[in-house]
Structure formats: structure tokens, C-alpha cells
Amino acid sequence: MFSKLLIANRGEIACRVIRTARRLGVRTVAVYSEADSNARHVRLADEAVCIGPAAASDSYLLAERLLDAAARTGAEAVHPGYGFLSENDRFADACAAAGRIFVGPPAAAIRAMGSKASAKRLLATAGVPLAPGYHGDAQAAEFLRHQADAIGYPLLIKAVAGGGGKGMRRVERPEDFAAALASCRREAAAAFGDEQVLIEKYLRRARHIEIQVFADTHGNCVHLFERDCSVQRRHQKVLEEAPAPGIAAARRAAMGEAAVTAARAVGYVGAGTVEFIAADSVTDDGRFYFMEMNTRLQVEHPVTEMITGQDLVEWQLRVASGEPLPLRQEQLAIRGHALEARIYAENPGRDFLPSTGRLLHLAPPAESLNVRVDTGVEQGDEIAPYYDPMIAKLIVWDVDRHGALARMRQALADYHIVGVATNIDFLSRLVACPAFADADLDTDLIERSRNFLFPVGSPPPNNVFFVAAVADLLRERALASVAASRSGDRWSPWGVHDGWRLNLQARRTLAYRGGDDRHEVRIAYAADGWRLTLNGESVLARGRVLDGGPFAGQLAVELDDRRLVASVVATTEKQQQKRHVFLDGGTYVIRCDDPLHLVEAGGADGGLTAPMPGRIVALLATEGRRVEKGAPLLILEAMKMEHTITAPKTGCVRAFRYAVGEQVADGAELVDFVMES
């Protein structure tokens, strides 16, 4: 095997490859942009080379800089990870021309599968089943509309290049086709440099099932069973599991055979994933259709590793070194059940809008044989607007699906993040959702379970405010003790902070806001704690810090005869003191309400400010014209996705503050909008 490996990627996948390479005794070279100079993958690698500015187009997507870094460091091989140049045939060719081993399939295989349209035409001749649709080269908008009318609605418009759910739109009605096509083309051109699309019939109540394949240079090709990736938002996977629930052995074998056929048809080598859409339940009539082949390692590969006991990155490195596959098909078996949840910096309540900021507090669950955390960040790192907002992958394993679900629920409850919005609470509801728990899976699961997954907001329970109050009281006691110790009088009564008064019992109030409501916790000091009263409920409270200190620690809180373990993190954000309370598997953010503290006014009404840094890609309204509430005004491209800014109320667009193509900062005023009274 080669002795030094350059990883042409960043974040979680770079850290993942480094872990296996180090175990195999292979030295690693990280590459990084100026925005990633102190990133975790840079800190973990044996060497690191800066390859350019923050934008991926000026760094991670420049093949010549990656190969120059390989030459300068003497790296014999290049691992592309996933995303960026991982499925770029020209990069694979350039590696070969430079005498570097490309840890991936041959460039010819990438070319064959790089276009979804040409791949479908190729595999149709190999007998792999395809979904009804148009996969041709003609791309005139009117021609595509006629093809869509012939296929019938609903349908999917999909970019022929790339993956990850980008450049994909579902269209329910003929009148929506033109706008969806334009949006799909814009996103595809921005993400993959290719605006060509294909059109396919959209199958309702369908499951997304993919097969992990592996081939070597000795003619061997196997599949490592299937993963169910049906749970998606914005056509991007959220939860993955292996094996797929409810799939019969005969159907598993048929799909595995079709996947191996597809791999052999293009002379595949290395790790790849053949993706299928399965109509209705896979246990009914067994219909399934080829969607695409990803010619790289997948984000969700850990669930396959957990059920097979194999390290797929090790397989990649061994195959790239010319070794045969470690196992034959008959030697592979499924053991237990695994789930993967993608932890994102995003706000599910705002249509999964990505979030940026510093990870002020990051406490993942403890890893074990049953729990694994793959991440590219640590506490204090920044989630920047330049790259995908994934924080980590949380993977769990147990002997069956029921046990794996229980493991995932607990692991999500133990995952505490402060500093950016995350989808952790959403994932907790998703795992507990009846449809998911009962394995009633399809790609519309999130939409049809919307009432369960997006509950109407309600104030936090009393216990949240009681826990926050106890944390604040313990914090005050700790600070008073430190101040007394510094005074030179260790016995100073001011350091006790027990509320002692000469004649009357000490009383005070701590006020918080949960949502728009003010909650006043009345406190009476007692000999062995505090008597707390809120909303007519009174409890005797005690508390102590278990771990982490008084400002970001785990507490044991007793409320009468009930003992709770909670974590409370105190932050000050934009002159506002907040308490992040992690309790009973939920995350609650409440604000300290001080009537003497003046808070700056917020931005424009209705979200007419930029929710994050980005680029204006389209202006959809006419200046000076009246628009209805909810009408699209402009499209902002940020963190690889398009976000539509809509009118908060009926009114008039007086002027746009930015032109198409201009960059905007977080919080920038985008539209001069006048609302009707």
C-alpha cells in the first residue's frame, strides 16, 4: 500500500479518512482553504497545505492546486471524499496523468455514470429497470414541457449531473413547470456547472433504497446489502438505516444483483452506490427502478459498516493499492440494525434554513460499540456560510431495529449544541414519529407527518424555568465564593450567598421569557435549598453541579422528591442573556428578562433581511408593483441551496437593495417594502 495519502476534501469525511489511514500506518496530508486554517481535519492530519481562499471555487474545486499539494508533500495517492471533485472524471484523469493514485473508480466509469441521463440509457441495455421519463439530450424549455405533459404529473425535474438533492424539483401541476425548470437549472449550474436536466414520473409513497457495491481490479464485484434513505427533506437525506425494514430476502437479492450488474456494465472499481426508487412497499409487487449511481463513498456509509463489521474506507485504500476485495459475496452477512442521523446547523421551523455561527458549546453523546459520532468540528469552531452546514453524523447500532431506535432517541437526547440552530429536536421527534417507528416509510414521510414533526409552539414546562433558576442560583453562589476568596477573608459572610437576613426571610424573583410570555420564578431561601413558585406550582429545590462548571455544566436538580439531570448553558448573544436548558430529551432556549435592560430593535418585518450571507440569483417581483402576502420577491443562494424571500404581507416593492449576482451580508436589508395598512 502507498505510504502517504492526500485527502482532497474537508470536514467530517476528511477526519473519517484520516482515522482509517492512521490505523493502517498511512501518513495523511490535509488541504484547507483560508476559512479552514484551524479546522479539525487540519489539526488531525500529519501535514496540511493551504490551497486558497474560502470559496470552494477558489480552493477545494481547483484540481491543479490539489495536485500541486500532492507533489509538494510526496503524497502517492489522493482520496476525494464526497462532494467537491469526488465524481469529476477530469480530476481522476489529472491524478493519473500526474502519477497519483485516485482512490475511486476509473474516469471512464465516472463519465458513464456522471450524467444521470446517459447512465439510464446505458443501463437500460443491461436490463436494469428504469422509471418512466425523458432522459434525452434535447433541452429546449418548450420541448421539455411537452415531454412533461406526456409523462404526466406529478413528476421530478432532476439535474443530470451531481447529487445531494441539489438541482431537483417536484412539480405537481403543469402551470408550475416553467418556474421549477428555471430554478432547477440555476441550482444545477451553480452546484455542478451543468444545467442539463432529465424528467421522471414521480412515484407517490415510494421508498428510496440504495445498494452499496464494491469492485476491484481483479474482476470481483460484490454488494454489501441495502440502506433505506427514504426520510428526506428538500430531496436530501435526513435519516438512513440498514438494512431496509420489511424487505424480503428475495427482493434484497434481486436489488443486489441489479446493482452489481450496473457496476459491471461500466467497468467499475472501488466503492459506489446504486440508488433505486421502490414503488409502494417493497414487499408488495417488488417493483423497483434505477435512479442513479454515485461513483464515490456515500455520506451514509457508516450504517453499512455497522451491520457488516467492515471498514469501507479501508476497502477503498486496499482496492486502490491493487489488492483484491477482502471478502467474497457469500462471506458477507447482515448483523443487527443501524441508524444514522445527520446533525445539521439549520432551523427546521424555517423550512430547514441553514444556520451559521460559532459552536459555543458542543457536547456529543459518549461513543461506544453502540454509538458512533463522525464529525469535522469541535467546540469553538465556526459553521461558515461557504460549505455544507452538517455538524456531524450520529450513528447507532443494536441487535434489532427496536433497540437501534431506543439507542438513537437516547443519543439525540445527549447531544447538546449551543451557538447555532440545529435539527436535533426535530430528529428526536422524527425518530419518535409513529410512521417512522412503525417503518411506514416513503419519501413523503416528513410531509405527511407534518403535524407531529412541527408542533404548534407552546411555552416550556415549569420544570425548565425551575432548572434555569437553580442553575442561576448555583452560578451566583459560585461567583460569590470566588469573590470572597479573592478578598482575603475566606470566612466573609458575603461569600456564603444563602439569603440570610436579620429578621425576614429573603425573597427575590428571577424572570425569564419563553417565547413571548414572561415567567416569574419567585424564590424564598430555605435552610436546605430554595422554595420556588411559578404559575401556582411550588417546589422545594436543591441542586449541585455534576460536571462542567456553573456556566456550562450538567446539574443534578431535586424538585421536591423528583431528581432531574439537566444541562444548562449560559450565553450572552447580541446583548441578550440566554439560558439553553437541555432537559428530558428536549432543548429549550429562554431569555433572562431584565426590565432595565434595553434590547436593540430587530431587523425588517417579515424576513426581508438576509437570513445569512449569500448571493442574489433572481429578482421575482417588479419594483413599484403591488404584491400579495406570500408572493416570492427574490431568491438568495446560500450554503449550496436556494432560499426564496416572500412578502410578509400584502404591499408594494418600492425598491430592491441589491442586483442579481451581488453578495449580501447576514442581516442585510434586501427589499424596501411598504405594507398595506
Catalytic (active-site) positions: 296
Give the span between the Cα atoms of 672 and 677, in whole angstroms.
Answer: 16
| Helices 141-151 + 177-192 axis angle, to 10 | 120
**Cα dihedral 628, 630, 633, 636 in deg (nearest 10):** 180
State CA 470 to chain mean position distance. 33
Provide DSSP, 20-77.
Answer: HHHHTT-EEEEEEEGGGTT-HHHHHSSEEEEEE-SSGGGTTT-HHHHHHHHHHHT--E
- Give the CA dihedral 304, 309, 314, 316, nearest 10 degrees: -40
| Contacts with 527 (C-beta within 8 Å, 6 or more apart), sequence order | none
Separation of alpha carbons 290 and 299, rounded Å: 19
Rounded distance, CA 108 to CA 377, Å?
35
CA 102, CA 111: separation in Å to the nearest integer?
15
Give yes or no for a cis peptide into 550 (omega within 30° of 0): no
Question: Which SS3 state, helix, strand or coil, does residue 637 take?
Answer: strand
Contact 374, 12 (CB under 8 A): yes
**Residue 351 falls in which region: left (phi positive, over 0), alpha (psi -120 to 50) or beta:** left
Q: Which H helix or E strand runs over 467?
A: helix 462-487
Cα–Cα distance, 625 to 655 (Å, whole number): 10
149 and 142 in contact (C-beta within 8 Å)?
A: no
